[in-house]
């Protein structure tokens, strides 16, 4: 086993950190306060290749290996988890699903535009009354030359800036993934959902009022949306874990900086045992999360990432990001509640992680299923 980064991966990490320090960090507070990521920032990210990070060069992508890409999300999230989330949905869900499951024509049509950032991707799976992939409430009725979509999706991240949505709908053949341009006739965005954390992500419900979709917009095979979910699911959970890792690291460094400066009765609080316990427990958790995330990214590069490892990473990421940010709020004492201090924003962003790509309960269920199956007990 090799636990060291390659020279190239280290070079990429330095480059990402440099970009983030210059372009993301100065805007992080603005993004949260104004609840949007400036278009100019996404343009600069696209010019660096970050919007085609995982795509091969033939589609204008940067063709990063998975470890390097995970480092990109971690570095961006260390400054702004909203920007990392926008990259995640665009890269790991939408463009990766097209790359892995799309036809040659679909790849030609969408991937170069996604890599250059002229089309941003959104992933429309969640519904108001969720009943799982096999009971989708958005219907894709058969029409002469394809389908007609009807129904409502909720929680669509990037909806406000998207040019393309992957929409999961119940077709006559079964649950089906469809590539739907955001300007399709009959597609309407609902009122923006204002969120507790990751406020820069533009999340809307999306209404499909008899939206005509041609047959060649099916991603993968009709009736086999499960294959599309499976193609991207494990890596996507890992990517969210990497974003949580960046958030937890940011929280810890804010707490440590504060503890070094803040004096009580003339003594820095960093000298107090209780504060040292917060710092030590947080450092242990961050380090073990980092190990799991990098290990999974290395497995992904070898085509060996498995669902159990990804769920363990995501469950631990949910817990660590919340716990570390919570301790660092407490380290700030009363200042933790004053919005001028960045720790409040980071806490809200970290708390949002569990709501995305599977809660603790969902991950626990998946992990328990795998462990029980490994012991011969099939549920
Ligand atoms: C910031 C953010 C961005 C998102 N972006 C997207 C996106 O781009 N695309 C998309 O499709 N979705 C997105 N989602 C939706 C997300 O993936 C979940 O589908 C959604 O958060 C679930 O919310 P809900 O209210 O339907 O929860 P519910 O499913 O109603 O769950 C409510 C609670 O019950 C628990 N629970 C539910 N079922 C069980 C069970 N069987 N056993 C035990 N406990 C259970 C849950 O863990 C949770 O605590 C996003 C969510 C958030 C918060």
Q: How many CB atoms lie within 10 A of CB 36?
A: 18
Question: What is the pLDDT at residue 203?
Answer: 98
300 band by pLDDT with thresholds 50, 70 and 90: very high
2: in domain = no
Report d(CA 310, CA 66) in Å as an integer: 14
- Whether pLDDT at 2 is above 90: no
Of 168, 194, 225, the last residue of a domain is 225
Q: Is 220 helix (H, G, I), strand (E, B) or coil?
A: coil
CATH number at residue 155: 2.40.110.10
Which helix (H) or strand (E) covers residue 319, if one does? helix 307-331
Write the residue with the smallest CA distance to atom 51 of ligand 1.
356
Question: What is the pLDDT at residue 276?
Answer: 98
Query: pTM for the full model?
Result: 0.98
Active site residue 8: no
Please state the atom number of ligand 1 nearest to the C-alpha of residue 198.
1
346 band by pLDDT with thresholds 50, 70 and 90: very high
The per-residue pLDDT for range 156-207, each reduced to its tens digit, is 999 999 999 999 999 999 999 999 999 999 999 999 999 999 999 999 999 9
* Radius of gyration of the chain from its Cα atoms, rounded to whole angstroms: 21
Residues 43, 137, single domain; the answer is: no
Of 225, 257, 289, the last residue of a domain is 225
Write the residue with the smallest CA distance to atom 26 of ligand 1.
130
Using N-to-C axis directions, what is the helix angle for 66-79 and 81-88, rounded to 10°?
Answer: 150
3-state helix, strand, coil in the chain (%, to 5): 60, 15, 25
CATH number at residue 298: 1.20.140.10
Is residue 355 in contact with ligand 1, taking CB distance under 6 Å?
yes
Residues 234, 340, single domain; the answer is: yes
CA 48 to chain centre: 19
Residues 131, 171, single domain; the answer is: yes
Q: Is 10 helix (H, G, I), strand (E, B) or coil?
A: helix
Number of domains in the chain: 3
Question: What is the pLDDT at residue 38?
Answer: 97
Residues 58, 142, single domain; the answer is: no
Is residue 60 in contact with ligand 1, taking CB distance under 6 Å?
no
CA distances from 352 to 73, 215, 240, 319, 328 (A): 16, 36, 11, 11, 16
Question: What is the pLDDT at residue 65?
Answer: 98
Average pLDDT, the chain: 97
Please state the atom number of ligand 1 nearest to the C-alpha of residue 126.
11
Question: What is the pLDDT at residue 3?
Answer: 85
Is residue 160 in contact with ligand 1, taking CB distance under 6 Å?
no
Report d(CA 111, CA 91) in Å as an integer: 10
Question: What is the pLDDT at residue 349?
Answer: 98
Average pLDDT over residues 220-231: 98
Of 225, 255, 271, the last residue of a domain is 225
> Are residues 159 and 135 in contact, defined by beta-carbon separation less than 8 angstroms?
no
Report which of 87, 83, 74 is spatially closest to residue 321, judged by C-alpha positions. Answer: 74
Report d(CA 286, CA 280) in Å as an integer: 10
Average pLDDT over residues 272-298: 98
Which domain range does residue 326 map to? 229-374
The per-residue pLDDT for range 77-128, each reduced to its tens digit, is 999 999 999 999 999 999 999 999 999 999 999 999 999 999 999 999 999 9
Residues 193, 249, single domain; the answer is: no
Question: What is the pLDDT at residue 1?
Answer: 80
Question: What is the pLDDT at residue 279?
Answer: 98
Question: What is the pLDDT at residue 116?
Answer: 97
Question: What is the pLDDT at residue 379?
Answer: 84
1: in domain = no
368: in domain = yes
Which helix (H) or strand (E) covers residue 343, if one does? helix 342-352
Report d(CA 326, CA 228) in Å as an integer: 36
Average pLDDT over residues 141-156: 97
Distance 273 CA to ligand 1 centre (A): 38
Report d(CA 81, CA 266) in Å as an integer: 35
53: in domain = yes
The per-residue pLDDT for range 12-43, each reduced to its tens digit, is 999 999 999 999 999 999 999 999 999 999 99
Long-range contact pairs involving 223-228 (C-beta distance under 8 Å, separation at least 24): 223/171, 223/173, 223/174, 223/175, 223/176, 224/174, 224/175, 224/176, 225/133, 225/168, 225/174, 225/175, 225/176, 225/177, 226/133, 226/175, 227/101, 228/97, 228/101, 228/166, 228/177
CATH number at residue 84: 1.10.540.10
Report d(CA 4, CA 51) in Å as an integer: 26
Is residue 130 in contact with ligand 1, taking CB distance under 6 Å?
yes
Share of the chain above pLDDT 70, in %: 100
Residues 70, 141, single domain; the answer is: no
Place of tokens 């990210």: 45
């Amino acid at each position: 086993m090799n636990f060291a980064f390659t020279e190239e991966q280290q070079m990429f990490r330095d480059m990402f950190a440099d970009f983030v320090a210059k372009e993301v960090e100065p805007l992080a507070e603005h993004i949260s306060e104004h609840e949007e990521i400036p278009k100019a920032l996404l343009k600069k990210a696209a010019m660096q290749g970050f919007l085609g990070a995982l795509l091969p060069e033939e589609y204008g992508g940067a063709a990063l290996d998975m470890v390097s890409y995970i480092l990109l999300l971690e570095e961006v999230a260390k400054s702004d988890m909203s920007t990392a989330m926008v990259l995640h949905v665009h890269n790991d869900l939408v463009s990766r699903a097209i790359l892995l499951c799309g036809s040659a024509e679909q790849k030609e049509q969408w991937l170069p535009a996604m890599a250059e950032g002229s089309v941003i991707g959104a992933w429309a799976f969640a519904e108001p009354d969720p009943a799982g992939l096999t009971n989708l409430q958005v219907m894709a009725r058969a029409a002469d030359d394809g389908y007609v979509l009807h129904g409502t999706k909720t929680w669509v991240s990037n909806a406000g800036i998207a040019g393309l949505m992957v929409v999961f709908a119940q077709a006559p053949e079964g649950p089906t993934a469809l590539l739907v341009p955001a300007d399709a006739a009959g597609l309407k965005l609902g009122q923006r959902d204002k969120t507790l954390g990751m406020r820069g992500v533009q999340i809307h419900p999306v209404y499909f009022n008899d939206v005509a979709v041609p047959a060649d917009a099916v991603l993968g095979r009709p009736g086999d949306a499960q294959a599309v979910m499976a193609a991207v699911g494990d890596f996507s959970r890992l990517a969210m874990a990497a974003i949580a890792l960046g958030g937890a690291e940011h929280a810890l460094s804010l707490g440590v900086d504060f503890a070094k400066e803040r004096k009580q009765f003339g003594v820095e609080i960093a000298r107090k045992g209780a504060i040292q316990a917060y710092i030590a427990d947080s450092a242990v958790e961050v380090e073990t999360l980092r190990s799991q995330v990098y290990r999974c990214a290395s497995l992904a590069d070898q085509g060996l990432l498995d669902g159990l490892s990804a769920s363990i990473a995501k469950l631990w990421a949910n817990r660590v990001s919340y716990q570390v940010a919570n301790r660092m709020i407490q380290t700030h004492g009363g200042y933790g509640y004053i919005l001028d201090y960045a720790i409040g924003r980071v806490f809200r962003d970290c708390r949002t992680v569990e709501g995305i790509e599977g809660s603790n309960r969902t991950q626990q269920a998946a992990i328990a299923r795998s462990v029980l199956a490994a012991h011969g007990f099939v549920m």
